[in-house]
Amino acid sequence: MTVEKNVPVPMRDGVTLRADVYRPSSPGRFPTLVYRTPYGKDDLVESGSEPTIVRAARAGYAVVAQDVRGRYHSEGEFRPYQQEGKDGYDTIEWAAAQRWSNGRVGTFGLSYPGAVQWLAAMESPPHLVSIFPAMTFDTGRHFFYFGGGFNHDWMRWILLTIAPDVRQRKGLRGAVTEKEAQSEWDRLKWQWENYLPLHNFPVLRDIAPWYYEWLEHPDDGPYWDFADVTKAYPKIAVPALNFSAWYDSNYGPLGAIGNFNGMREKGATDLARRGQRLILGPWDHGDPSEHEIKVGDLEFGPNMTFDYYGLVIRWHDRWLKEMRNGIDEGPPVRIFVMGDNVWRTENEWPLKRTRYVPYYLHSRGRANTAAGDGRLSVEGPAGADESPDHYAYEPWRPVAIENFEKMGPYDRTKIHNRQDVLVYSTEPLAEDVEITGPITAHLWAASSATDTDFCFMLYDVYPDDRAYNLAPNEAGFIRARYRTSESAPEWLTPNEPTEIIIDSMVTSNVFKKGHRIRIDITSSRFPSFDRNPNTGEPFGTSSRLITARQTLLHDTAHPSRVILPIIPRGSQGP
């Protein structure tokens, strides 16, 4: 293998990006893979991409690993995602024109390196043949705001992964290595995460001025068009393997599903429409392992192991080398069914054989905590026995998610001991129940505030009362002002019941006999999301916090329920 370091790649505006080129030692022209990253091309072991690059070069590929604009060895100003479409186009076309390339180019990468692939494909580079975008979005705004709540984890991302290089480039004071940044974060994160108002947070002003632009655009609108893949499907003409996981950041599984279905329907060519594949596994956000069988606190057995790096190469072998290796044949969807802990192929998503069953919320007004009287059943509201449930959301003591930085399934019984968390559980199941597909909550709620948040989570409750979340921390969340539109906020009328629909959750899990199905409902999920101050003031400007007194109704006129996608046991996919 031959490696060329810091090869200059000119962009159309005169900026030079730098790339390392890996290729077979033998002479010739090779199919070419492009990997673009903000995390440092010199640190591919840490990013998890080195195995793919080395294996690809040994398999007869030239691989271009590039620092994106404004990062490490590349010139220019870093503005996350906003420049990646044009820079990706220019890099792909540059690679195709090199003496060591045969002109057929593919891309791969996960998270940010996954997103840049779609952004480049939106520009329709002529020599792009196939893409492997893993764990990324379909609608760019959902990378930053989900359900209208701001993903507070961006602060951590900037301070841990972006800030050290920026400080070195600009000569700023502060941590200049990831180790120093981690130590600083561990010491100050509680102070930083709780800082109000968000717009006045001083630490990122010189490091990431674009962060404050994000805060200035909480509504959906033209600002976010630079990263809206959904509007560009008719311009994208390449096969894509859409890859994510049940415990990926929530934009990941929803983005993979959205892009898979959107491209199948609207892709620019018949080949692009037919060439879409979808894989959803049991992992969290990161490269799946060939050896690991555990995510979070749960083991999923030997079927969980996965040769991700080999899959990247097989995918591009099919399209760049035109090898008939079967990867594009058969059912286009492959999912890992948790509980049974098996892989299964399907013809579509969601599954045609799904039975969407409403599970209704019940109580006599005391559903607070797991020790309360909240129940979940397929029976409708029971009239006089259905008293509303109440709790107080106090933003200065939000429901804090343990292990939110680690991701994955964890026992959340501590949360279910809080009085500001409503808990509804089924009786122990008499038989196995499979839930695979989108989960939607219809909550009839009233609040004393003009704006507040509501969120729910689905749990698998074991016979010993351990309760494991079945979706990422960002799933199942809505900011009330965005309940009907993400572009036109609508404030609540205080204490007036309104139906809140939350439809941002997917999973696949078999609840075993003797287990229980549970949902919880509360009004904060911190620090995954910023805290709603309940004041109705413009987003990010308030340092004033007030209590929201929340009411959840579940009577015959207000049938609060969660719609579960039941897959009949014994039914088979293709």
The average pLDDT across 320-342 equals: 98
Say if residue 401 is in the same domain as residue 473.
yes
**Residue 315: CB partners within 8 Å, gap ≥ 6?**
106, 130, 132, 241, 327
pLDDT score at 43: 83
Say if residue 283 is in the same domain as residue 415.
no
Q: Distance between CA atoms of 243 and 280, rounded to whole angstroms?
A: 6
pLDDT averaged over the chain?
96
DSSP annotation of 325: -
Say if residue 334 is in the same domain as residue 397.
no
CB 278 within 8 A of CB 260: yes
Domain annotation covers residue 136: yes
CB 273 within 8 A of CB 265: yes
Decide the pairing of beta strands 16-23 and 2-10: antiparallel
CB 263 within 8 A of CB 235: no
CB 87 within 8 A of CB 11: yes
Domain count, the chain: 3
Q: Distance between CA atoms of 57 and 22, rounded to whole angstroms?
A: 6
Q: What angle do CA 41, 4, 19 make, to 5 degrees?
A: 35
Output b/e per residue, 205-219; b: 16+ Cβ within 10 A.
Answer: eebbeebeebbeebb
Q: Is the pLDDT of residue 108 over 90?
A: yes
Say if residue 136 is in the same domain as residue 82.
yes
Say if residue 75 is in the same domain as residue 132.
yes
Q: In this structure, what are the phi and psi dihedrals at residue 66, rounded to the nearest 5 degrees?
A: -125, 140
Percentage with pLDDT > 90 across the chain: 92
Say if residue 103 is in the same domain as residue 153.
no
**Residue 412: CB partners within 8 Å, gap ≥ 6?**
402, 457, 459, 467, 468, 469, 520
Domain annotation covers residue 91: yes
Compute the residue count for the chain: 574
The average pLDDT across 321-328 equals: 97
Q: Distance between CA atoms of 48 and 333, rounded to whole angstroms?
A: 25
Say if residue 407 is in the same domain as residue 541.
yes
pLDDT in tens, 405-424: 678 999 999 999 999 999 99
- What pLDDT band is residue 46 in, cutting at 50, 70 and 90? low
CB 71 within 8 A of CB 43: no
Q: Distance between CA atoms of 450 and 447, rounded to whole angstroms?
A: 7
CATH number for position 302? 3.40.50.1820
Q: Distance between CA atoms of 315 and 335, rounded to whole angstroms?
A: 17
Say if residue 359 is in the same domain as residue 443.
yes
Q: Which of 59-63, 76-80, 382-386, 563-567 has the lowest mean pLDDT?
A: 382-386
Note down the domain range covering 310. Answer: 2-142+223-346
Say if residue 129 is in the same domain as residue 263.
yes
Domain annotation covers residue 574: no
**Residue 217: CB partners within 8 Å, gap ≥ 6?**
223, 224
- Which of the listed residues 326, 346, 366 is the one where a domain comes to its end? 346
CB 135 within 8 A of CB 249: yes
Decide the pairing of beta strands 62-67 and 16-23: antiparallel
Q: Is the pLDDT of residue 13 over 70?
A: yes
Domain annotation covers residue 196: yes
pLDDT score at 337: 98
Q: Letter for the amino acid at 204?
A: L
The average pLDDT across 553-572 equals: 93
End-to-end alpha carbon distance in the chain? 42
pLDDT in tens, 379-405: 999 876 799 999 999 999 999 887 666
Q: Which residue has the tokens 């080395």?
A: 54
Domain annotation covers residue 486: yes
CATH number for position 473? 2.60.120.260
CB 227 within 8 A of CB 193: no
pTM here is 0.96
Say if residue 400 is in the same domain as residue 467.
yes
Catalytically active residues, by annotation: 111, 248, 285
pLDDT score at 34: 98
Domain annotation covers residue 177: yes
Two tokens at 136? 């990324």
- Which of the listed residues 217, 238, 265 is the one where a domain comes to its end? 217
Decide the pairing of beta strands 62-67 and 30-37: parallel
Domain annotation covers residue 572: no
Q: How far is CA 197 from CA 157, 194, 446, 449, 530, in A?
A: 19, 9, 26, 19, 11
Domain annotation covers residue 274: yes
Q: Is the pLDDT of residue 47 over 60?
A: no
pLDDT score at 401: 80
- What pLDDT band is residue 572 in, cutting at 50, 70 and 90? low
Two tokens at 455? 């969120």
Q: Distance between CA atoms of 503 and 505, rounded to whole angstroms?
A: 6
- What pLDDT band is residue 286 in, cutting at 50, 70 and 90? confident
pLDDT score at 406: 72
- Which of the listed residues 323, 346, 369 is the one where a domain comes to its end? 346
Say if residue 308 is in the same domain as residue 255.
yes
Q: How far is CA 87 from CA 37, 81, 206, 240, in A?
A: 12, 10, 24, 20
CB 26 within 8 A of CB 56: no
Helix (H) or strand (E) holding 164: helix 163-170
pLDDT in tens, 431-482: 999 999 999 999 999 999 999 999 999 999 999 999 999 999 999 999 999 9
Say if residue 33 is in the same domain as residue 115.
yes
Q: Which of these, 175, 168, 310, 246, lies nearest to 439 by C-alpha position?
A: 246
Q: Distance between CA atoms of 78 and 363, rounded to whole angstroms?
A: 52
Q: Is the dihedral of CA 149, 152, 155, 161 positive or negative?
A: negative
Q: Distance between CA atoms of 567 and 563, rounded to whole angstroms?
A: 13
